[in-house]
Amino acid sequence: MHYFKNAYWILLITSMLFFSCSHKSGRKDKQNITRHNNITKPIANKDEYKGKTIVKMENDNGVKYIWVEINGISLKFIFDTGASNICISSAEATVLYRQGTLEKEDILDAQYFQDATGKVSAGTRINLRTVKIGDRVLQNIEALVIDNNEAPLLLGQSALGKFGKISIDNQNNVIIFE
């Protein structure tokens, strides 16, 4: 088992370095990773929202996106209640590694997953020390690194399942986490 973990750690780092060298920025969309500070959107005079975490969402052709802080780095995720885990691409994993927010101890093991098309692929299961959604900070959340720089960032059930209730307010363009 110890050899298994070390082999995947080496494989992950090697692939991250390979992919980061093959793309100038290490990722396709430079706006996908930013120091985005306006994550929550205050809604004036809404008693129904008191004590809840309200997060502004962006809607692009029916796909809902929200900004989430992963280990202190803000990333734009697809809000995906059908995804089992938070999923990030190898490009985002490379950024987290270079920033020092993803370390060897955070690499757990290999895991097979099935995507929405039914294809089964291998990924690397990691631990995210902090996942900040709005003003709520979740600790030690499992995520999956997809070995594809083009893979979308998915905010899935490994984080969403930590909330009691989640609802979407399309009129105010927010997601309410309770």
Q: What would the pLDDT profile of 143-159 be if each residue is shown by its tens digit?
A: 999 988 888 999 999 99
Say which residue, 121 or 86, is predicted with more confidence: 86
Domains of the chain: 2-177 (2.40.70.10)
What is the three-state SS of 114-149?
A: ECCCCCEEEEEEEEEEEEEECCEEEEEEEEEEECCC
Q: Answer whether 43's CB lies under 8 Å from 55's CB.
A: no
- Global pTM reads 0.73
Query: How many other C-beta atoms can be found within 10 angstroms of the C-beta atom of residue 152?
Result: 18
Q: What would the pLDDT profile of 20-61 be if each residue is shown by its tens digit?
A: 333 323 333 434 444 444 444 445 446 667 789 999 999 999
pLDDT band at 141 (very low <50, low <70, confident <90, very high): very high
Q: What would the pLDDT profile of 62-98 be if each residue is shown by its tens digit?
A: 999 999 999 999 999 999 999 999 999 999 998 999 9
